[in-house]
């Protein structure tokens, strides 16, 4: 029964249109899927001990590349996405190469990646004439007078297009996670995250494997930024770059479970439900308690790391495994 659960969930998602779901709940589902995809992208690196606090940079590169190229040069977001991929890959290599060659890992690595996301944020703000600075930017819309689909501009009036597009990306992200997990690289990297010298001694090119995973994670995340910009039709340096969003990614993955494929997804759902739940519970009083969700995230992050480092899904799976392995009581 447990094995079938994910497939049932997938079928339910695919059949969503028939449920007559409203616009706002649909928006929530889309955001869930989008952030699940982004968190999953982050965790491909994170689970191997390469905890990055700089993924906000890749998100920002993705989001701002498409919007800026479209607004200033009329370049289609499809090309813009390609540009974002190249720039993110270059940034990932630029940071990753010296770090991995010099065996910079752990919290040291985290701080260096933090610089990356900060530079991105600062650049976006400093170039305010082009980017709109802290006020943010919107891609020029071409959806006027009944045009519902503008493929070249990657703009769609119907949320359903986005739903299926992002659902597809989320599934693709899970597939990449699965492939990285399966391949030799993953075995090598686990060996590496435990004992670098041993891994190097059996001929595994440590640096190359780490770079590979880093670039994949960066590129996937930047595509998430592209999707975010085109769906929301609004970007802002605080939301898509900087330490805040980077930490939120980490929190989501930790809450859900860093070492399980669907862990980041559970984390994204949990985070969103928490915010929505608070909004419902407090009703109109929500305005009076700004940042209450942030306070709760903070406390939960602390509690999760101390008491449930494997995350919700990780802990649940562990408990389930234990019950399966416990022998049944002998019949009298």
Partner 1 sequence: MPVFDVFLLEAVVNGILLGGLLALLSLGLNLVFGVIDVVWICYAELIMIGMYAVYVLHVQQGWPLVLAMAAGIAAVAALGALMHHFVIRPVLAAEPINQLLVTGGVLFFLQAAATLAFGIEFRNLGVRMPPIAIGEMSFSLPRVIAFVVALAGVAATYLFLTRSYIGTAIRAISQDRQIMPLMGVNPDRVFTVTSALGGALAGLGACLLVLQYDIHPAIGLSFGPITFMICVLGGLGNVLGGLVAAFIFAQFISVGGFFFHIEWGYVIAFAFFIAVMFWRPQGILGGK
126 touching partner 1, by CB under 8 A? yes
Rounded Cα–Cα distance for residues 265 and 138 (Å): 28
**Residue from 44, 89, 99, 266 that binds partner 1 (CB under 8 A)?**
99
Pick 128 or 208: Cβ nearer partner 1: 128
Nearest distance from residue 91's CB to partner 1, in Å?
A: 10
**Residue from 179, 298, 320, 321 that binds partner 1 (CB under 8 A)?**
298
Pick 80 or 237: Cβ nearer partner 1: 237
* 15-21: long-range contacts, CB 8 A cutoff, minimum separation 24: 16/163, 17/160
**By CB under 8 A, what part of segment 237-266 binds partner 1?**
242-244, 247, 250-251, 254
Rounded Cα–Cα distance for residues 218 and 226 (Å): 13
93 touching partner 1, by CB under 8 A? no
Pick 33 or 91: Cβ nearer partner 1: 91
Nearest distance from residue 115's CB to partner 1, in Å?
A: 5
Helices (H), the chain: 5-14, 23-46, 55-73, 77-101, 106-126, 128-131, 159-182, 184-194, 196-201, 206-232, 237-240, 242-256, 263-282, 292-307, 311-325
Pick 77 or 314: Cβ nearer partner 1: 314
**Residue from 299, 319, 320, 321 that binds partner 1 (CB under 8 A)?**
299
**By CB under 8 A, what part of segment 31-90 binds partner 1?**
49, 51, 53
Contact 54, 117 (CB under 8 A): yes
Rounded Cα–Cα distance for residues 224 and 35 (Å): 8
CA distances from 284 to 246, 276, 291, 295 (A): 30, 13, 14, 19
Pick 36 or 131: Cβ nearer partner 1: 131
Residues 6+ apart with CB under 8 A from 142: 150, 153, 155
Nearest distance from residue 60's CB to partner 1, in Å?
A: 14
**Residue from 32, 92, 95, 180 that binds partner 1 (CB under 8 A)?**
95
Q: Which residues of this chain interact with partner 1, rule CB under 8 A? A: 49, 51, 53, 94-95, 97-99, 102-104, 106-108, 110-112, 114-116, 118-119, 122-123, 125-126, 242-244, 247, 250-251, 254, 289-303, 305-306, 309
């Amino acid at each position: 029964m447990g094995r079938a659960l994910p497939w049932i969930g997938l079928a339910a998602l695919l059949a969503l249109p028939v449920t007559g779901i409203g616009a706002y709940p649909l928006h929530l589902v889309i955001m869930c899927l989008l952030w699940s995809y982004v968190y999953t992208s982050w965790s491909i690196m994170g689970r191997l001990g390469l905890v990055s606090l700089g993924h906000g940079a890749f998100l920002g590169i993705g989001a701002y590349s498409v919007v800026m190229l479209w607004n200033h040069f009329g370049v289609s977001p499809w090309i813009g996405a390609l540009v974002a991929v190249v720039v993110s890959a270059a940034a990932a290599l630029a940071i990753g190469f010296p770090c991995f060659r010099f065996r910079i890992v752990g919290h040291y690595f985290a701080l260096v990646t933090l610089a990356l996301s900060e530079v991105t944020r600062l650049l976006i703000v400093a170039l305010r004439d082009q980017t709109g600075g802290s006020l943010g930017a919107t891609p020029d819309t071409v959806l006027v007078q009944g045009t519902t689909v503008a493929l070249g501009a990657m703009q769609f009036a119907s949320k359903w297009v986005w739903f299926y597009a992002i659902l597809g990306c989320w599934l693709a992200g899970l597939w990449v996670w699965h492939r990285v997990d399966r391949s030799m690289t993953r075995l090598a990297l686990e060996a590496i995250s435990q004992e670098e010298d041993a891994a190097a001694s059996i001929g595994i090119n440590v640096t190359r494997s780490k770079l590979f995973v880093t670039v994949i994670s960066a590129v996937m995340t930047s595509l998430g930024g592209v999707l975010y910009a085109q769906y929301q039709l609004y970007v802002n340096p605080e939301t898509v770059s900087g330490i805040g969003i980077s930490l939120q990614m980490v929190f989501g993955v930790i809450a859900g479970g860093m070492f399980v494929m669907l862990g980041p997804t559970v984390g994204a759902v949990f985070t969103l439900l928490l915010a929505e739940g608070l909004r419902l519970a407090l009703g109109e009083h929500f305005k009076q308690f700004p940042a209450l969700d942030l306070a709760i995230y903070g406390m939960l992050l602390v509690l999760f790391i101390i008491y449930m480092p494997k995350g919700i899904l990780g802990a649940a799976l562990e408990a389930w495994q234990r019950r399966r392995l416990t022998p049944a009581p002998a019949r009298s």
